[in-house]
């Protein structure tokens, strides 16, 4: 991964640098060429005054054609160009380079003459038959003598000379491009290591450790960029994984603990009976205790199976129209004996005889039973229980209240956890701490809400909603 990301970055940067340098080179050569010829034009225009005075002398017969050619050759060599003198019909009559003699007597200027007659210099590019191998830039400057057009001076500048200068410029550009690429590689390497590659490697390392069970490992990246955000989300994911792992361990230890105590006592009682340690007349008494323990064990196992099935979504909910008021009434009747034993005062408040909701009958029965069971269990002797159902918009609101001590703030958010009991010592014998987890799992699966309303110096209310039909 390290090599991949780095080489991709380098390739991208090298491409960007290359493109920008090619563009620079193109602009520069265009600019350079026009600048060069502009300069050259100025220089040659100055030179042309001298040449035209020689030409005029020739016309006047002051100097011979040989002398004229000689003088032209000298000027041409000095300025590294070729000079032709052309008459007013466009025919050359003197050339600076003897090798170009065969251009004499061929018309080299036609259209240009019009402009030249108007005393306008002309600027062209051409090879003039086969005289030049590569195109040359030519400046034509008219000659006037006594106001009469006497032809023109043609000054050819080879592009070759410019090419070699440009080549040098390109060379410099490419060498600097190469340097730029090398330097940017070093910079990219340094920064990508610091900003991306090392942090990613760290996240990768920690992910590997976590997957091997070291769930307490975290990444330590504090940058404010996307990598920092990734590290943050990664850490919070690790937090929840650690939490899940902690819950799993706790769950296993709780289950083993809950199962071990009834099994130990059942084993003790039956062993005592078999050994004869327990006297015959007490056998029945101990057997009934053992029976209760086995029943408790059965309930525990059933609760656990229910819970895992609900959480795994294996219980197919059978949604039907049910009367929640009827379920509440039947449930209270189920607890009649316990209510009587604890001399409790029970209030049932309902707006109507029936309140129809869409839910799974058996599961809602389990919810109401668990909540009423808790109320009956945790209310004080001679206390009050209030169960009410009412309509709230398109929902039915069911609440189960019991007076007595409220649930401490710090326990509120744990109360839904499996095996969580507020008062571990007092309730350990009669409860397992699974009731509320089951309640919440069922309601979550139905897409409904449940919450606790603690009322200081009054008691505790559990409220939940169901969808009305
Ligand atoms: N009505 C209530 N009043 C006071 N405390 C309550 C009430 N209902 C629940 N609790 C507290 O919440 C804890 C968890 O309740 P939950 O129903 O999950 O378990 P449990 O009643 O202890 O055991 P189980 O329901 O499995 O027999 C209880 O141990 C108790 O401390
Ligand atoms: Mg309970």
Rounded to the nearest angstrom, the distance between the alpha carbon of 8 and the centre of ligand 2 is: 61
* pLDDT of 162 strictly over 80: no
Give the domain ranges of the chain. 2-163, 226-311, 319-467
Fold of 2-163: Beta-Lactamase (3.30.450)
* pLDDT of 364 strictly over 50: yes
Helix (H, G, I), strand (E, B) or coil at 276: coil
Rounded to the nearest angstrom, the distance between the alpha carbon of 293 and the centre of ligand 1 is: 20
Averaged confidence pLDDT in the chain: 90
Q: How far is CA 19 from CA 12, 174, 175, 205, 269, in A?
A: 11, 12, 14, 38, 90
Tens-place pLDDT, residues 13-70: 889 988 998 898 888 888 888 888 888 889 889 989 999 999 999 988 999 999 999 9
How many whole angstroms separate alpha carbon 87 and alpha carbon 72?
15
What CATH number should be reported for the domain whose range is 226-311? 1.10.287.130
Ligand with smallest separation from the Cα of 430: 1
Range in 217-221, 257-261, 293-297 with the lowest mean pLDDT: 257-261
Ligand 1 atom nearest to 433, measured from its CA: 19
Full DSSP string of 389-455: EEEETTEEEEEEEEESPPPPHHHHTTTTSTT--SSHHHHTTT--S-HHHHHHHHHHHHT--EEEEEE
Tell me, what DSSP letter sits at residue 405?
P
Residue 66 confidence (pLDDT): 93
CATH 3.40.50.970 fits 319-467, yes or no: no
Is any ligand 1 atom within 6 A of the Cβ of residue 433? yes
Strands (E) located in 208-353: 319-323, 345-350
Is any ligand 1 atom within 6 A of the Cβ of residue 415? yes
How many whole angstroms separate alpha carbon 469 and alpha carbon 454?
30
Tokens found for residue 111: 């259209």
Rounded to the nearest angstrom, the distance between the alpha carbon of 437 and the centre of ligand 2 is: 9
Residues forming a β-bridge with 468: 357
* pLDDT of 224 strictly over 60: yes
Query: String of b and e for 157-171 (b: at least 16 CB within 10 Å)?
Result: bbbeebeeebeeeee
How many whole angstroms separate alpha carbon 303 and alpha carbon 431?
11
Helix (H, G, I), strand (E, B) or coil at 106: coil
Residue 425 confidence (pLDDT): 64
pLDDT class for 421, splitting at 50, 70, 90? confident
Residue 419 confidence (pLDDT): 85
Ligand 1 atom nearest to 375, measured from its CA: 1
Range in 170-174, 365-369, 392-396 with the lowest mean pLDDT: 170-174
Ligand 1 atom nearest to 421, measured from its CA: 29
Is any ligand 1 atom within 6 A of the Cβ of residue 435? yes
Give the number of other CB atoms < 10 A from CB of residue 33.
16
């Amino acid at each position: 991964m390290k090599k991949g990301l780095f080489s991709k970055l380098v390739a991208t940067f090298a491409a960007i640098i290359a493109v920008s340098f090619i563009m620079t080179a193109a602009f520069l050569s265009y600019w350079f060429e026009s600048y060069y010829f502009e300069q050259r034009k100025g220089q040659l225009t100055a030179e042309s005054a001298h040449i035209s005075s020689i030409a005029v002398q020739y016309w006047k017969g002051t100097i011979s054609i040989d002398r004229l050619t000689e003088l032209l050759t000298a000027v041409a060599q000095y300025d590294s160009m070729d000079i032709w003198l052309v008459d007013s019909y466009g025919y050359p009559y003197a050339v600076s380079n003897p090798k170009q003699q065969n251009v004499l007597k061929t018309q080299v200027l036609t259209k240009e003459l019009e402009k030249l007659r108007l005393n306008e210099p002309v600027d062209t590019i051409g090879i003039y038959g086969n005289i030049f191998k590569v195109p040359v830039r030519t400046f034509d400057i008219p000659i006037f003598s006594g106001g009469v057009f006497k032809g023109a001076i043609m000054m050819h500048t080879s592009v070759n000379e410019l090419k070699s200068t440009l080549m040098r410029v390109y060379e410099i550009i490419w060498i600097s491009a190469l340097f730029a690429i090398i330097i940017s590689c070093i910079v990219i390497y340094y920064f990508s290591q610091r900003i991306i590659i090392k942090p990613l490697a760290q996240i990768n390392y920690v992910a590997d450790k976590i997957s091997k069970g070291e769930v307490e490992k975290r990444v330590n990246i504090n940058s404010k960029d996307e990598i920092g955000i990734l590290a943050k989300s990664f850490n919070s994911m690790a937090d929840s994984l650690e939490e899940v792992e902690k819950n799993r361990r706790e769950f296993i230890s709780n289950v083993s603990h809950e199962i071990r105590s009834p099994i130990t006592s059942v084993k003790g009682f039956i062993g005592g009976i078999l050994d004869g340690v327990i006297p015959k007349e007490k056998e029945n008494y101990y057997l009934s205790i053992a029976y209760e323990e086995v029943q408790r064990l059965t309930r525990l196992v059933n609760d656990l199976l229910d819970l895992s099935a609900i959480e795994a979504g294996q219980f197919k909910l059978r949604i039907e129209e049910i009367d929640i008021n009827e379920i509440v009434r039947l449930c209270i009747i189920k607890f009649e004996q316990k209510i009587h034993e604890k001399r409790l005062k029970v209030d049932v408040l309902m707006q109507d005889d029936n309140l129809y909701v869409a839910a799974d009958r058996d599961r809602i029965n389990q919810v109401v039973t668990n909540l009423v069971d808790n109320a009956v269990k945790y209310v004080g002797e001679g206390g009050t229980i209030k169960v009410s159902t009412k309509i709230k918009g398109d929902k039915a609101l069911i609440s189960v209240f019991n007076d007595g001590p409220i649930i401490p703030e710090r326990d509120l958010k744990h109360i839904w956890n499996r095996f969580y009991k507020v008062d571990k010592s007092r309730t350990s014998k009669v409860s397992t701490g699974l009731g509320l987890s089951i309640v919440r799992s069922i309601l979550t699966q139905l897409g409904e809400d449940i919450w606790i309303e603690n009322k200081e110096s009054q008691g505790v209310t559990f409220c939940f909603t169901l969808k009305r039909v």
